Amino acid sequence: MNANLFALFETRFPADRTACCIETHDGLYYSWDDLDRATAKLANLLTGLGLPEGARVAVQVEKSPEALFLYLATLRAGYVYLPLNTAYQEAEIDYFVGNAEPSVVVCSSKNFAWVSKVAFRHGTSYVFTLDEDRSGSLLSRAAARPDTFETVPRADGDLAAILYTSGTTGRSKGAMLTHGNLASNAQTLHEYWGWRSDDVLLHMLPIFHVHGLFVASHGALLAGAKMIWAPRLDMAQVLKFLPRSTVMMGVPTYYVRMLQESRFDDDTCRRMRLFVSGSAPLLLETFEEFRKRTGHTILERYGMSETVMLVSNPYDSALGERIGGTVGMPLPGVSVRVVDGEGKPSAIGEIGNIEVRGPNVFKGYWRMPEKTREEFTADGWFKTGDVGRYGGAIVSQAGERAVPGNYVTIVGRSKDLIISGGYNVYPKEIESFIDEMPGVAESAVIGVPHADFGEAVVAVVVKKPGVELDEGELIGTLKGRIANFKVPKRVHVVDELPRNTMGKVQKNVLRQQFAAL
């Protein structure tokens, strides 16, 4: 049996291949036949380049159906897909390309000049362009290729994608996900969330990370269900397309913005059966207000780049209710444990470190065998770096309620990770850029509560003696070097950073100090 993930999707295409697979926000329709032929042409192009076994295809392009087809074609051709956030700047792309050594890089036409220089400097053989208006050299080259392709056989353990993530120290790490990892998770969510062939997914998420590319897209593809495809959250499009949709996935910011729209109500959601929220904590206030406004209870879940989805509130009420402030129960086939600092199981209600294992857990970090060993326990559990508990209680304005002992609540992150608007922000990376700036002695980057983004990035900077630092200039310089979602919303200049007796910066003190911003 061919374990290639695309081969699994092929078995779930609807019998009527002329049916609509993707409808775009601007009125285009793509049938399942269109998907099959387009991915065949792109797969033929890739295989015709004579790429080595296991070649990586790095992609930094705006969201479009063609960008999704490129991902699927890469799988179909047996290569490894490497999605890159469209906000990444040259210094970041230079690291990713240098580390992953892709054979092919695909970028937007507007970035071709600098991306191609970076790519060729690191030995990449081919650089193509792909734009959201269906133009670019990639599609031009693929147009003449045959529109049939025999999906390349792959085993469960063969690499399908590399997603770059990070910790609080060092540069980003490439999480290696296999065909088996992605297939097992997609099949589990298909059953657990009750996907149907007549579902219509409103897809407004980016497709360069787990949530939009894997969880949302895989769900619709595996169900043979239609997607309504929009480049980003836009309330005019929500009001237009949500009445025709049955499933929507978003980060908490999406639901906050929807509730700010007076025309958004229960009638807008008349066909909906499932709203999913993830990638950042959903405030209880948002959870309750959404239920009051629409009659729908948002389903919160928990996952990581290294594992895809791990835990979910139930879709089926027979399994339990959806409890705000929790991420629900471990998915079928996934094991989740909470342990203390010595690795001993924490009691119900006690906070500890979250460790996981299952067929969805990644293969390891790209070219980092020592780091991979560090992140797994001796008995094979992956250390997520997140802190949480089973059971306990949730406190809200309505009072305190007990949480069942099989429900997981995420309390915090042991690695200082900041999640802003659903995007992961790693303080150490931003600090490394700030510390290089003239007049800066040192810096500490923290996350502070933000009603819209969940957390906002804030930098606390110590200046060198006799130097004056300007907040606007520092932020302006960073905007030219790193992705905008990583750029601090505020920069505070201080005389010194708080430290413990070992000399380590006490970020918890800084978070308390600036929490009211």
Q: How far is CA 59 from CA 36, 68, 214, 482, in A?
A: 20, 11, 15, 18
The reported pTM is 0.86
State the pLDDT confidence band at 500, using cuts at 50, 70 and 90. Answer: low
State the pLDDT confidence band at 411, using cuts at 50, 70 and 90. Answer: confident
What would the pLDDT profile of 144-191 be if each residue is shown by its tens digit? 999 999 999 999 999 999 999 854 445 789 999 999 999 999 999 999
**C-beta of residue 362 within 8 angstroms of C-beta of residue 321:** no
C-beta atoms surrounding 504 within 10 Å: 10
Length of the chain counted residue by residue:
517
Q: What is the mean pLDDT of residues 334-356?
A: 94
Burial of 318: CB neighbours in 10 Å, binned 0-12, 13-18, 19+: exposed
> What's the start-to-end Cα distance of the chain, in Å?
56
| Side chain identity at residue 332, one-letter code | P
**C-beta of residue 460 within 8 angstroms of C-beta of residue 499:** no
- Hey, what domains does the chain have and what are their CATH numbers? 418-513 (3.30.300.30)
137-151: string of b/e by CB count within 10 Å (b at 16+)?
Answer: bbbebbeebeeebeb
What would the pLDDT profile of 204-236 be if each residue is shown by its tens digit? 999 998 999 999 999 999 999 999 999 999 999
- What average pLDDT does the structure give for the chain? 93
Q: Quote the strand ranges of 246-363, DSSP E.
A: 247-250, 274-277, 299-304, 308-312, 329-330, 335-339, 352-357
C-beta atoms surrounding 84 within 10 Å: 24
Strands 335-339, 299-304: parallel, antiparallel or unpaired by DSSP?
A: unpaired
Q: What is the DSSP letter of 111?
A: G
| Side chain identity at residue 294, one-letter code | T
What would the pLDDT profile of 252-269 be if each residue is shown by its tens digit? 889 989 999 999 999 999
Q: How far is CA 114 from CA 101, 109, 402, 509, in A?
A: 17, 10, 55, 41
- Furthest C-alpha separation in the chain: 73
Q: 308: closest CA among 198, 203, 180? A: 180
Query: What's the rounded Cα separation, in Å, for the pair 70 and 64?
Result: 10
∠76-305-99 over CA atoms, to 5°?
75
What would the pLDDT profile of 8-59 be if each residue is shown by its tens digit? 999 999 999 999 999 999 999 999 999 999 999 999 999 999 999 999 999 9
Q: How far is CA 499 from the centre of its chain?
A: 33
Helix axes 427-435, 471-479, angle to 10 degrees: 110
